Chains A and B, each alone.
Chain A
């Protein structure tokens, strides 16, 4: 490890490269793009939760004046079920091809069945109404408890579970030790069942793209996504156009949180553009986003934990049923794999079940599955600590995973920072502060709760190019869309390595044909992976610069060091020369061997998991059942905070989303199986005034396998939140809620019923 100490730029709150454009409205998002001759695409969507498509007649729509092209599933490459899985990352193209356009069956209200391109949006919408779809309406189910009934309507007839047709698509398990023995040796065993509702990622920017297909087949895609290479690959596979002919240009992205790791519009717009010969633009409405793009799973989890009187956990068992929506692929790996990971538990079984039902296909959402599992586990942990009369943080410390602990999902931990997060929480000003008096005259009470969480984090493919401009400045190109401030982090690192002011480093995101393959912006991988390839590229550049200086001075390159933006002789022994700056070397480049620049492409390894521990204070208006978070502290092992401002931004953003999930957000369905709240009025994400300042404590336990010690930070902060809020509400009211959201009508009804905590 060559951890840079005495950093000048690493750890500084520099101005982000994209900041000015964003606050002045100059930034180009996908919906801002336009082209001469551009026409508009619209999607016709199924009104039914479940229906066989017996036929589609598009002739009337095609005859409408202004309509230039119509596509249906016939225009999308079919990945047949019998031929088996065709994986792209974690997505099976058999499901992707059916999700972007329904084939034999429509599986949720909002499922695309056809798409139209016309000269105006209004004509395209009108044409959609002229398409006649012959549906055979089928019975449906949405909730897990309905979908797993023996006589439930089956979404995918080919699927068998225990020999019978079923909506349970798969099971995952992580196992350690002997469960029976473990529970037998426990003094206290607590088992609880929890449910959560589907919640949407809630990015502000709806999905949008503009696509042009030239007569020679060369295709250009401007779109908002978490990965231009994913867009290129999926569009290629779904349209049959080779990747070399598709240039996917990443627009600035207005939030994704995992929801933009798959395509919805691009294959349709590509085929519309190909058929019409015109550039086609498509922009979803908020309602389409809410109905047809992935929220995360609703869930049903049962968690059982056994402890000895001294607080040692002897055994734990978790069963996590997650809604996948229309196609298999719910994040059971995150739920089963992450939920118990902060703890060293000798006997453990953690199982996940992937359940299909008639709602939109899930898409990744920040630490997919982990917050759902942690909610159940961390609430039971709190209840157990209560039964033991132990401080909940001490209980966690007693059982904390550390270096050498074997996690049930496989790895034996290297040096990890979980204990540090619990200790930092314990010694935080927040934990030491009294709760403070609530205004009792209006029936207000306060409470405090804590919870921990873990996320795997990821490495993977990344490419970078570092070029020195002719005037001696730096342009860095990477291949991952910047959602969380990664460009600012890269600028800090590059400035540090080259010893120059960060404002001399320009960081841009390349498109698929100008930078090497780079995997999705997801899994909290981007700064980890891209700073590795940027560091190696910058080191190559520095090597070139030293060689150039050595040549000019006529000494050995080993006798040249790079410091503070210039080449210096390593010592007076090497020779007496005035330093050669980056600017001077750039000017001399043409005569000294040509342009200076280097690129590196790697499948990066060595991403360490991340841990966090949160403290939440709530105040509850007991007359109205309204719970408000009044103080919150997120403690996290962040490895190394390259740009502390954007690390805090990640922590605060995750917490804000978790508070929404805990208190108000939920998909509500009508009796007809349709989403009843497809907009931000009734899908209640928190607004600024709902939240206190969200405090952050960044614990830095550097990752020894990374040149700057970076660990992923973007997903962990959502994992503990719902449990922290639920535990705080329990502390305030003495009431436990076993379902989310803890919305005012629910809290009020529970208070009225005077339900008391079972364990008390």
Chain B
């Protein structure tokens, strides 16, 4: 029943100061599409809410000098969709972010919130892992960088330290012949939560795969980088044998649970099916077809 204090600082330093000072009772607010739902249902009872959307760095989307992208942690899905270049370079990351919720949700929801919420089923996370995104976090002890797959710690938990805020994602420059894609299995066609989500990013040179990363969601306590799946594709022409090997790597990476959203057997099988389908789309994009 206690009141909630709402702060909307204009600078990152102010935000970190306020966030760190308030301790465990504080929550960062980006789009609020997870946080406000959790507050309403009584799962979290924050004493202080620090809204980070007024900090320009947090909502910025910038193409870096080397051709990479820096995305503010609180940039909305809609802002990312409207960026003239981002979707051309990272169509898979964009489609993953844009799968979150509906149009209304897209106006608010951010990739940063999706990652920091810590859901194993967050849609943008496997795509970001496949893309090799590096995140910048800042806290009372300063800035540091982490691989995106190192951020989730388990359902609802992250490896951010107390008082740390996720600032941005950096996606590396793209080699020619690269493509990425994200697919999720949901029983409906939208407004649903991934039973399995899978992102692939790869590079083809003369038909041969020279780089590949696979991110897998909703089949373990955190989204996973499936290195063996990437390795199975690298050096191949994405032939059936290589794809089956990569699919098998995804299936064996699964450590799912049986729950209301799907059975263990179904999730494991689906991970393999999605690997093949997602890799095919990424390859198509890589070759510009």
Residues of A within 8 A of B (CB): 122-123, 126, 287, 442, 623-626, 628, 663-664, 668, 676-677, 680-682, 684, 686-687, 689-690, 743-745, 748-749, 752
Contacts and interface: CB of A to CB of B under 8 A. Distances in A.
A689 B188 CA distance: 8
A623 B273 CA distance: 7
A749 B266 contact: yes
A413 B139 CA distance: 79
Given A664-B187, A689-B189, A123 B261 contact: no
Given A122-B1, A442-B277, A690 B189 contact: yes
B260 A625 contact: no
Nearest to B258: A745
Interface stretch (B46-54, B159-167, B172-180, B190-198): B190-198
24 contacts: A122-B1, A123-B1, A287-B41, A624-B185, A625-B266, A626-B185, A664-B187, A664-B188, A668-B260, A680-B191, A682-B193, A687-B188, A690-B188, A690-B189, A743-B187, A744-B185, A744-B187, A744-B195, A745-B262, A745-B266, A748-B269, A749-B265, A749-B266, A752-B269
Contacts, number: 55
A287 B42 CA distance: 13
Given A442-B277, A681-B193, A686 B265 contact: no
Nearest to A747: B266
B98 interface: no
Nearest to A668: B260
B263 interface: yes
A126 B266 contact: no
B138 interface: no
B110 interface: no
Given A684-B192, A686-B188, A743-B187, 17 more contacts: A122-B1, A625-B266, A663-B187, A677-B260, A682-B260, A684-B188, A687-B188, A687-B189, A687-B190, A687-B191, A689-B188, A690-B189, A744-B266, A745-B262, A745-B263, A745-B266, A748-B266
A677 B187 CA distance: 15
A664 B191 CA distance: 14
B261 A682 contact: yes
B219 to A, nearest CB: 14
Contacts of B1: 122-123, 126
Interface residues of B, number: 21
Interface string B10-38: 00000000000000000000000000000
A687 B41 CA distance: 23
Contacts of A624: 185, 270, 273
A287 B43 CA distance: 14
A743 B266 CA distance: 11
Q: Which 6 A-B pairs have the closest CB atoms?
A: A745-B266, A689-B189, A623-B273, A668-B260, A122-B1, A745-B263
Nearest to A627: B187
Nearest to A666: B260
Contacts of A684: 187-188, 192
A748 B187 CA distance: 12
Contacts of A681: 192-193
Given A677-B260, A745-B263, A626 B193 contact: no
Contacts of A749: 263, 265-266
A320 B270 CA distance: 36
B91 to A, nearest CB: 20
Contacts of B262: 744-745
A194 B45 CA distance: 46
B260 A676 contact: yes
Nearest to A660: B188
A122 to B, nearest CB: 5
B266 A689 contact: no
A461 B31 CA distance: 52
Nearest to A664: B187
Of residues A676, A677, A745, A748, which shows the largest number of chain B Cβ atoms within 10 Å of its Cβ? A745
Contacts of B187: 626, 663-664, 684, 743-744
A628 B261 CA distance: 18
B251 to A, nearest CB: 13
A676 B1 CA distance: 27
B227 to A, nearest CB: 25
Nearest to B193: A681
A44 to B, nearest CB: 15
Nearest to B195: A744
Contacts of B265: 745, 749
A725 B138 CA distance: 54
A682 B121 CA distance: 14
A300 B178 CA distance: 54
Most buried by B among A122, A624, A743, A752: A624
Contacts of B277: 442
Nearest to A123: B1
A442 to B, nearest CB: 7
Contacts of B195: 744
B18 to A, nearest CB: 25
A295 to B, nearest CB: 16
